[in-house]
């Protein structure tokens, strides 16, 4: 067996987005495409000889083939050891934990997260750094620049590994440890949450739950924790086997795509608690019996009740949210006397704040919530946090949330996604908004008066780095907002996301339908951005 030096040519489309490089499976199946990007990572990271990385993915189509290639490239490039998830399965939160627990150089995660799978679906690669978090912008930009000039990659000439059996294997001088990451992850959760209390919640027979793994990566973890350690009844976890095409399920835990779970939770015999996670396990959706909870409200409720959870009972150092996420958690932070940071979209922006000890909890409106236990958002962690609160308070999800609204006020909030737009039209719409920004302040739209309007920029309070062009904000007097931004997680066309928020302190008006409560802002958003005129769309593709 020997090292092959293989000549190649650059591809011009390998610039990572907010969560790594995502393209269609067929794009990654092109000769040299995956290899070019992996070699670019190895070249940029540098000083990798003899170091250890973790490797795995969410089980989607092309994962196993890609893993075999990456292992051989790692051996050829001098990596000393790879910790590889059993059967190629490794959730993003578990990967972050493994990097931190074992002080690894970093990790390569194969996933397109909440994007659809299968032969006609999406595939993705991202590199997580030594703190367990996603690569910062300067590093992903370096990957891209290297990919534009690469002319050679290296591959170890060896047979494929058996990914189905745990244990150690050798490939030249490199050791490949195939391991089951569910044990490490479960041990971490046991340190943070009161498993005894949650076990009693299930044990008395009056509490019921359903968790939808969406045939993605969290199935093995959820079965081990909920049906194993906590004693939930068998069948609590549905769609629990990771499948290459997710059995046709779009693994995005929202009201549109988690249809089976939503139907169960809206039925007359609905369980007390429902939850779902996405393709790679870093997102979550929380449902009560016939009650949907926005991710923004979920973050706020977790922060307000953190004292009930062992791992957070000593207090929070601060909280952080992405700019488009509703300001519900801001009000909790103010009441608690702690700092609330507003960052651009993308979990990597929380990393410095977490490393510096400035925040304990953080979250994004795109169904992502997390804390300083790792450097990624964590779907199962959020579900366990909610279970711990339910066990401690002995109340329903709906009652807990309504009590929270009575105390802090309600931020009516919704995101309208316009998917698959022509890129030119989407970019022209954003250009139009930037052109009219200066004149918006002081303008009135019905009874809404614009207090400020800008293109959000962020200066990192830890390292001083600046990120610009992060989304258009139109802020009205009285704490209402409209935010426009283009998504960085799609693989074709463009996705326009419109975020709408209205604050309501009057308890008599807090139980309105969300879309009805936001109807004026929805009309104003279309008027200002000329959505219908510029895109031809009458309604959003997805409303959450």
Instruction: Catalogue the active-site residues.
Output: 113
The phi-psi region of residue 150 (left if phi > 0; otherwise alpha if psi is between -120 and 50; otherwise beta) is beta
Q: Does residue 272 contact residue 208 with C-beta atoms inside 8 Å?
A: yes
- The token pair at 316 is 């929070």
Dihedral over alpha carbons 65, 68, 73, 79 (to 10 degrees) = 140
What is the CA angle 495-38-17, rounded to 5? 20
Adjacent-strand bridge partners of 454: 473
DSSP 224: I
Distance CA(484)–CA(494), nearest Å, equals 13
Q: In the beta sheet, which residues pair with residue 474?
A: 453, 482
- Please state, in angstroms and rounded to a whole number, the distance separating the CA atoms of residues 374 and 372: 5
> How far is it between the farthest Cα atoms of the chain?
74
Task: Identify the residue whose tokens are 């990790």.
Answer: 107
Phi/psi of residue 193, nearest 5 degrees:
-120, 160
Distance (Å, whole) CA 355 – CA 201: 34
Q: Is 343 exposed, middle or buried (0-12, 13-18, 19+ CB in 10 A)?
A: buried
Those residues with Cβ within 8 angstroms of residue 228's Cβ, 6 or more apart along the chain or in another chain: none
């Amino acid at each position: 067996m020997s090292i092959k030096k293989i000549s190649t040519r650059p591809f011009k489309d390998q610039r990572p987005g907010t969560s790594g490089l995502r393209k269609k499976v067929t794009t990654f199946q092109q000769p040299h495409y995956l290899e070019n990007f992996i070699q670019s990572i190895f070249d940029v990271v540098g000083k990798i000889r003899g170091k250890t990385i973790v490797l795995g993915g969410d089980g989607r189509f092309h994962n196993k083939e890609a893993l075999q290639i990456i292992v051989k490239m790692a051996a050829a490039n001098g990596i000393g050891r790879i910790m590889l998830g059993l059967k190629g399965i490794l959730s993003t939160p578990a990967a972050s934990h493994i990097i931190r627990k074992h002080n690894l150089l970093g990790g390569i995660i194969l996933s397109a997260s909440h994007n659809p799978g299968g032969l006609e679906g999406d595939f993705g690669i991202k590199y997580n750094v030594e703190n367990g978090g996603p690569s910062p912008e300067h590093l992903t930009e370096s990957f891209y620049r290297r990919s534009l000039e690469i002319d050679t990659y290296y591959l170890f000439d060896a047979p494929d590994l058996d990914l189905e059996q745990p244990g150690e294997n050798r490939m030249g001088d490199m050791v490949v440890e195939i391991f089951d990451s569910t044990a490490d992850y479960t041990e971490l959760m046991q340190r943070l949450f009161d498993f005894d209390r949650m076990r009693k919640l299930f044990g008395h027979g009056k509490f019921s739950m359903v968790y939808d793994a969406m045939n993605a990566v969290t199935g093995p973890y959820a079965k081990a924790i909920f049906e194993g350690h906590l004693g939930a009844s068998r069948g609590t976890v549905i769609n629990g086997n990771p499948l290459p095409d997710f059995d046709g399920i779009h693994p995005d835990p929202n009201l549109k795509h988690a249809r089976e779970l939503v139907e169960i939770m809206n039925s007359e015999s609905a369980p007390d608690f429902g939850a779902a996670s996405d393709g790679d396990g870093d997102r979550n959706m929380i449902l009560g019996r016939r009650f949907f909870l926005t991710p923004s409200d979920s973050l706020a409720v977790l922060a307000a009740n953190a004292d009930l959870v062992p791992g957070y009972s000593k207090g929070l150092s601060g909280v952080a949210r992405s700019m488009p996420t509703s300001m519900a958690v801001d009000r909790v932070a103010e009441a608690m006397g702690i700092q609330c940071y507003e960052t651009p979209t993308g979990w990597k922006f929380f990393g410095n704040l977490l490393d510096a000890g400035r925040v304990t909890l953080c979250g994004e409106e795109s169904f992502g919530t997390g804390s300083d236990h790792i450097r990624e958002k964590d779907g199962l962690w959020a579900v366990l946090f909610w279970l711990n609160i339910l066990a401690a308070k002995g109340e329903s999800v709906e009652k807990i949330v309504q009590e929270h609204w009575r105390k802090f006020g309600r931020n009516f909030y919704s995101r309208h996604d316009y998917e698959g737009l022509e890129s030119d039209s989407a970019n022209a719409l954003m250009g139009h908004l930037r052109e009219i920004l200066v004149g918006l302040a002081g303008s009135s739209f019905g009874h809404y008066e614009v207090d400020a309007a800008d293109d959000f920029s962020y200066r990192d309070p830890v390292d001083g780095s600046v990120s610009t062009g992060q989304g258009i904000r139109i802020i009205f007097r009285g704490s209402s907002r409209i935010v426009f931004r283009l998504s960085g997680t799609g693989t074709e066309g463009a996705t326009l996301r419109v975020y709408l928020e209205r604050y309501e302190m009057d308890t008599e008006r807090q139980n309105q339908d969300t879309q009805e409560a936001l109807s004026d802002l929805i009309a104003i958003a279309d008027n200002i951005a000329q959505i219908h005129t510029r895109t031809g769309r009458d309604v959003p593709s997805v409303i959450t």
